[in-house]
Structure 1
Amino acid sequence: MKTITIKIKRMRSQALLPAYMSRHAAGMDLYACPDSIMVLEPGSRAVIPTGIAVAIPPGYEGQVRPRSGLALHRGVTLVNAPGTIDADYRGEIGIILINHGSETFMVSPGDRIAQLVIAPVRQAVLELVENLDETGRNDGGFGHTGC
C-alpha cells in the first residue's frame, strides 16, 4: 500500500488528530473541536470546527465524507458530501453537518463527526469542440435506465 505524508497542525490546543479506526480503513475519523457543546435541532445545520489544518500535497485532495453510523442511527450527515479540501487550503477544517433526524443532536468536543479520505486528483484541460463523440447513451439522463 502506497502512503503519502500529510502535514497537520493543531489550530486549537484541545484538537484530536484524525485517526484510522481499522487497519484497512479508507478514511480517517475527524473529531469535533467546538468551544462548547453545539446543538443541532432537526432540520438545522452548522459548521463544526475540527481544530486542525492540513497541508495536502499537490496532486491530492482531502475528501470529507459522512460517517455511516451517524447517518443511519441519528440522521446526521454532511450537507456537501463529499466536501473537498484542496491541496492549497491551509485553514481550519470545518465540517458542515445537517440533522435530518427527528431528534436534537448534540455535538461535543471529541465526537467523531466525519471521515477524511486522501485521494489523487488530476486537473483537466478543456477543449472546446462543435460536436461530441456519439455513445449508446448520448443524452439519456436521470432515470433513463429505469428506477
Structure 2
Amino acid sequence: MTFQNAAFCSLVVPVRVEFVSDGARALYGDGLRPATSRSVGTDVRACFPEDCRELAPGERLTVPSGLRVQPEQPGVAGFLYSRSGLGARDGLVVAQGVGVIDPDYTGEILVVLLNTSAETRRIRRGERVAQLVFQPVVMPEWREAPLASTERGEGGFGHTGA
C-alpha cells in the first residue's frame, strides 16, 4: 500500500501492516488510507466478532482493531487519538488520552474507549473508533544535573496568569 498524500507530508515512513483475520481485512476495504488527501490520521475500526457492543456511562471497553503494525524506520512510533466527532458528539474517547504503540510492539492494536457521556453507547463492528498517527519521537539522554534557572522557576499551574 502506498500513502496517497505523500506530497503533503514532510516525512513518509513505510509501515508494515498485518490483518489479524480475513474479517478484519474486509472491514478496511481496499486498504488503509487517510479519509481525505490532507488528513494526518488513519481511521481504526472496531473488529468485534459480534455485530456490536454496548458501553455504559463511565465504562471502559477494549476494542480490537484487527490490525498489527510495524514502522520500518527507527525513531517512529504509532499514536492512537480520539476521533473528534465521536468524542464531541457521543462522548467516546481514547481512555488514556493518547495510546502509544511502541515500535517493537507487534500485537494487535487495541483501543480502550471511555464513555464520558450520560448515555449508554453502542459500538458497531466496522465503526471508526480512533485514529492512528505515526510520529517521530525523541529519546532523551538522561543526565543528572541541577536545572538551569528560568524566569518562571517553580511556579505551577496558573502561575503565569493564564
TM-score interval, normalised by the smaller of the two chains? over 0.9
How big is the shift at 1:143? 1.7
Instruction: List alignment gaps of at least 5 residues for structure 2.
Output: 1-8
- Number of aligned residues: 146
* Structure 1 CA distance for aligned equivalents of residues 46 and 39 of structure 2: 20
Match of 1:54 among 69, 93, 101: 69
Q: Is 1:24 matched with 2:24?
A: no
Which of 86-95 and 30-39 deviates more? 30-39
Structure with the bigger percentage of helix? 2
Matched with 1:84 is: 100
Q: Kindly, what percent of the aligned residue pairs are identical?
A: 35
Measured on the aligned residues, the alpha-carbon RMSD in Å equals 1.2
Matched with 1:67 is: 83
User: 1:61, 1:121 within 8 Å by CA — same for their partners in 2?
Assistant: yes
Instruction: List alignment gaps of at least 5 residues for structure 1.
Output: none
Give the TM-score normalised by the residue count of structure 1: 0.94
Matched with 1:109 is: 125
1:9-46, Cα deviation, whole Å (9 max, x unpaired): 01122113443011111111111101111110111001
* Structure 2 CA distance for aligned equivalents of residues 143 and 96 of structure 1: 31
| Structure 1 consecutive aligned stretches of length 4 or more whose deviation exceeds 4 Å | none
Give the TM-score normalised by the residue count of structure 2: 0.86
